[in-house]
Structures are given as structure tokens and as C-alpha cells.
Amino acid sequence: DRSIAECILCIFLAIVVSIIGIHVLYNDIYYDLEILVYCCVMAASQYSLLKSCQPDVNTPVHGFNRNTAISRAIYFCLFSSLLLLIHKLKTYSWHCILFGIIFSNIAVCYMIYNILSIILLCLPLLFLFGLLPQCSTFFLCILENFDMHLFGGTAMINIPGALHSFLLSIINFIFLSIIGYYGLLIDTSKDHMQNILFSIYCGLTVSICYKLSRGSSNPNVFWNMIKYDLLKIKRIIRQNEDIQDPLPDKLRTIVKERLQSDILLCFLICIVVFAAHASTTFTSLQPILNYIICSIVIILGTLFHYVLPQVRKQLPWLLFSEPLIKQADYALFEPTEATKVLFIEKLFVWIVFIEKNILLPCTYLGALSHSAPTVINKFGLL
């Protein structure tokens, strides 16, 4: 009750808990003693909105934490909603064949249904021992894992950054999917995809992936750049501020210069990839080209990402008592001059640069051009 917004949120969550709980009881998901336990769980979720026991075991903050006060109700609503959704999906039967394996929704739905029904009844014990994180940490992990496993994103530090990165990935995915769909729709009778629109799709994919990998996950930096540079909004300086912090202006200038260089490089990358794919490089040399590029990537990846870090460890593979590749001053107790960069370290930097900017994009383009007609003929465009 520290603010009006918090009171409105607690009242809204209490109403949602009641509505979802009534729907779960109405669908006869629980029977006998399970109904009593579920009602106790629902009452505990509503009681935590009125008076939350502080500090809670699942919060890293000592003292009052408003995230903990609403976490139980949010978890209850989330798991109950998923349980109702799975309960409805059990009535629909469908299956798909992937790599020769038949996947049916009935077995998967029953497994998830049983797990969720047990988790809902065990929520008080889970909160008692702190086995569930607070809601903000949970949503951050969900967005982070979706972004990493679906779109190849990176780790995040806060919810706005994770939401910003996830939305950017979705927007670019939809944009590229539309272009790729019409590129595949033109001609799928050939053994290799070779048309202008599909080459544009390949160029845009590589360039956009480069831009997303270079972008910042902090939306405040871009918002300040838009607000002060594009919209020309003047910053209000208070009279009692004698010294102005120059760091935000320097950071905004650096981000703006980096954005300009990234846009130029993305344009050049798109042109180069489009020209390479529109030529006969990825069609006349197939499938030998794919085998050669994949073999080079596997060999270089094994040598420079596994073998080289191991031989530079203090105990390589726990079989040797000292590093196999040493620095020049390794045997000295106190070095008298700066450490020199080894030739293998310079080679590692160049190999990683070539691998990330040449070999991996070529592997992607070759596999996409060679496998697209096969996938379309087997699964269709939609």
C-alpha cells in the first residue's frame, strides 16, 4: 500500500487469481483432497498480496521487496493458465513426422499436464524453500533463454534490455521470413535456389545478423540518442547543478558513430553477399563446396577453440604438469619487461576473424542454397 499503482496491481492480481482458480475448479482438474489443497494454495496467493512476509527466502534483497509480494500470485496465475491451456489442448489430436520420428501432442500434453498439476499443489513448499526466483528474475530468464535459443541472442542484465533485444529479434525474423517466403515461392523446381529475391534475402540475413550482434542491449542509449539528436529535445539543466557529467554525452556520441559505421558496413555486406550468392559460386560447385567449407570449419574450430585453449592451461587435459605452449617469461619469478605476444596468439585472432566473417557465412549460404529445395519438397512452404 505504498502507492496507488501498487494497490491497483494487488487488487487486479487478486481478481485474476480468483477467476483463474474458479476456472480450474470448474473444469474438474482436481478431485477429493486435491481440491482442498488447491484452495489453500489459491488463498495463500491472495493473502500474500495483503500481507507479505518479509524477508522472503527467494529474494536477494534484505528488507521489504515488492517483487516478492506479488511473485506468489503471478506464479499461481501463470501455472494455472498453462494448466487450463494444456487441458484444452488434450482434446485436439495432431502429429508431425520429423527426421522419421512421429511426434504426437497427446503424450506431450499429458506429461506437461501432470507436471503442472503437481507443481501447483506444491507451490507453498516451493516458496518456503525458495526454489522459485522472484518474478522479475523469472521473466528475465525466460526472455533471455527464448532470445538465445530461438534467435541466437546473448545474455541480458535487466528486463527492459531483454525485452528490447527479444522484440528486435522478432521484428527482424518476421521481416526476413516474408522476403524468404516469396524468394522460395518463385521457383523450387531446381536443385539449387538461384533467383534475385532469394539472393537479396541471403544478403539481408547476413547483414542484419551482423547489426544485431553489434547492437547494444540497453534501450536507454538509443532512446536518448533519438530524443536528443533526432527529435532535438533540449536537456533541462537544474540551477543547482554546478558540474555537468560529460559521460552521457560522450557515450551517446560513441554510440552514434558506431551506428553510422555499422549501417555502412551492413550495406557493404549485403551487396557482397548478394553478389556472391547471385553468381554461380554456390550452384556449380555443389555439393563439393559444402563439404570443403564444413571440413575447414570443423578442423579450425577443433584446433583453435578446443586444442589451443587446452594446451595453454596450467594442467592441459589434467595429463601434463605445465602448459605445452608457454610465454617467454613463464620460467621467470619476476618479469623485467612487458610480455610479448606469441605468434600463435596473433594467428588465433586472424583465424577467428576469418571464421566469423568468411567461413561461417559461406557455410550458411551454401547449406541454405543446397538444402532449401529439399526441405520445401518434403515439408512444403507452410
> Which pLDDT belongs to residue 199?
87
pLDDT of residue 185 exceeding 60, the answer is yes
Cα dihedral 271, 275, 277, 281, rounded to 10, equals: -150
- How far is C-alpha 130 from the chain's CA centre? 25
- What are the tens digits of pLDDT across the range 117-172? 999 999 989 888 888 888 888 888 898 888 888 888 777 778 888 888 888 889 99
- DSSP, collapsed to helix, strand or coil, labels residue 161 as helix
Give SS3 for 102: strand
Mean pLDDT rounded to a whole number for the chain:
82
Q: What is the pLDDT of residue 240?
A: 53
Residue 330 near residue 323, CB atoms below 8 Å:
yes
pLDDT digits (tens, 9 = 90+) for 316-339: 888 888 888 888 777 777 777 777
| Residues paired with 103 in a beta bridge | 96
- Grid coordinates representing 205 are 540475413
Give the residue ranges of DSSP H helices in 152-195: 159-186
Identify the CA nearest to 23 among candidates 74, 92, 83.
83
> 328 CB contacts (<8 Å, ≥6 apart)?
339, 340
**Among all chains, which residue has been given the C-alpha cell 495463500?**
44
pLDDT of residue 243: 66
* pLDDT above 60 (res 188): no
> Residue 1: what pLDDT?
53
For 350-363, write each residue's pLDDT tens digit.
999 999 889 999 99
- 8 Å CB contact between 144 and 162: yes
Kindly state the average pLDDT of the residues 190-197: 70
